[in-house]
A and B are shown apart, each in its own frame.
Chain A
């Protein structure tokens, strides 16, 4: 009974994860400009990957394999936002303008009051 439940949960996670990865990839193609494309890519990286790995963990039972799956999850968890930020930052520094949003000016700090007056 328990085994059946674990099996069912595992398939649910795998299929949900696969679905989310597909949605993320679809968004990557559909979105109109670079900065909006970052967001669907984030779906794949965060919940899509986590669901698929959770599904696999449930399949694997408890062994060294589970530990490796957890490590893959942890690496993706820490590196994927970092690389997304690096890509976005590189694009901004290189002068790629978002097509559908304005880059807001830096809010004035206490030292630079004159910028506000301008």
Chain B
């Protein structure tokens, strides 16, 4: 337990310093030491707030996430095209639907990934989250049915399981 907290603290510090290096672009000893100091200060504050855990430092999310991102990108492109067609259609062919969609993820992080993915694909927006289901507003009935098939739900389950 203690070791895990140490890993998370170290991971947070290293990730922040890497970010600092990428954003700064100045690599003189003085500025580098300022960078180290500011990262250490923030890690200290985070530790005092007691927010360093697996949610703040998701080291356990594996590379399966990237495969999911690629799939999600494809879905986003497809649904973007659908919604763009609807907006540009003079008749505005919408059929707004609201449905409860089951969310079978075990952890909160999994549910957040699922709900964010739903919102990120245009055409469906997650409106409310309860412990095992999500209220979704879809712009067309087809979009709602596509979500109800549970394909995305399963894929999020998979990256969570790894």
Contact = CB atoms under 8 A, between A and B. Distances in A.
Interface of A: 20, 23-24, 26-27, 30-33, 35-36, 38-40, 42-43, 45-47, 64, 67-68, 71, 77-78, 80-82, 84-85, 88-89, 92, 98, 100-104, 106-107
A109 B67 CA distance: 34
A82 B133 CA distance: 17
Contacts of B84: 20, 23, 43
Nearest to B94: A36
B127 A107 contact: no
Given A46-B80, A46-B122, A64-B25, A35 B87 contact: no
Interface string B56-69: 00000000000000
Q: Interface majority SS on B: helix, strand, loop or mixed? A: mixed
B122 A88 contact: no
B122 A43 contact: yes
10 contacts: A43-B122, A45-B120, A47-B76, A68-B22, A81-B116, A85-B119, A85-B125, A92-B128, A98-B98, A101-B98
Interface in B34-93: 76-77, 80, 83-84, 86-88, 92
Nearest to B125: A38
Contacts of B146: none
A19 B60 CA distance: 38
B23 interface: yes
Contacts of B86: 27
